[in-house]
Amino acid sequence: MVDFYNKISFQISKFITRSYSTSFSIAVSFLEKDKKPAIYAIYGFVRFADEIVDSFEGYDKKKLIEKFESDFYDAINDGISLNPILNSFQNVVRQYQIPDDLIQAFLKSMKFDLYKNDYTTKEEINEYIYGSADVVGLMCLKVFVNGDEKAYNELKPPAMKLGSAFQKVNFLRDIKSDVENLDRRYFVDLNIDTFDDNFKNQLIKEIEEDFTESFIGLKKLPKHPKLAVYIAYTYYLNLLKKIRKTPAEKLIKTRIRVSDFMKGILLIKAYLMSKLNLI
């Protein structure tokens, strides 16, 4: 019966992933069958933690995130949790030996969102990005290399660069809602009243450098993870291109997105690139 419960837990993580992110779910669908549940479990864990600090207005967020963390470590100690999301994630942590320092860094960044609104130094924002994005990529990398520590250590730096690139694109895409709804500014010296194309383009240049460095590692991934990651890579790169073309004054008033039609085009292109061994 425990095996059946574990199966149900992973199915719930899959449902959470598909409900919150169609694009991510499509990318995951190109992984090997045995790797998909693990990535769904990782996504479910980080998504729920993020929802606690971002969306649960009217509730004691600090208490909830601390309970979420405590329940996770109970699950690690007990080998099971009645919370299906934590149950599937703790199974993945055990199976793929995901280091606890990655999980702690992630939870630390989530807690930053409870009280920290501005980042005044590059070191501060880099710490936040490491915990909120880089380590999630490293958790997935642990699954992709399946215990190959040499490969993990080689691919770790570019995986972190890719996590940073994705997160910074998210920051630019969500700049309006982050400032207006959450009162958060994730860029050093960001002033929404003086935000202009020069400031925006400086940020984009930095993100493009992250994408370039990450691509070196992406090409070294095993076949199926390579395609899955490349699909996400092309989606975010296209989103960044749209942001570059969007005037700063418009960017702070609307949320830029890639249309479903364009996502379909990008998916086909990525698949063909993979088939032709061009990545």
Looking at the domain covering 1-96, what would its CATH class be? mainly alpha
CATH topology of domain 118-279: Farnesyl Diphosphate Synthase (1.10.600)
Length of the chain: 279
Print the SS3 string covering 162-213.
HHHHHHHHHHHHCHHHHHHCCCCECCCCCCCCCCCHHHHHHHHHHHHHHHHH
Q: What is the pLDDT tens value at each position of the chain, 279 positions in all?
A: 799 999 999 999 999 999 999 999 999 999 999 999 999 999 999 999 999 999 999 999 999 999 999 999 999 999 999 999 999 999 999 999 999 999 999 999 999 999 999 998 999 999 999 999 999 999 999 999 999 999 999 999 999 999 999 999 999 999 999 998 899 999 998 988 899 999 999 999 999 999 999 999 999 999 999 999 999 999 999 999 999 999 999 999 999 999 999 999 999 999 999 999 889
pTM of the model: 0.95
Token code pair at residue 209: 């450098």
Print the SS3 string covering 82-118.
CCHHHHHHHHHHHHHCCCHHHHHHHHHHHHHHHHCCE
Instruction: Write down the domain spans for the chain.
Output: 1-96, 118-279
- Secondary structure letter of residue 253 according to DSSP: T
Question: What span, in angstroms and rounded, lies between the C-alpha atoms of 31 and 225?
Answer: 6
> Comparing C-alpha atoms, which of 32, 41, 23, 40 is closest to residue 270?
23
Check if 1-96 and 118-279 are the same fold: yes
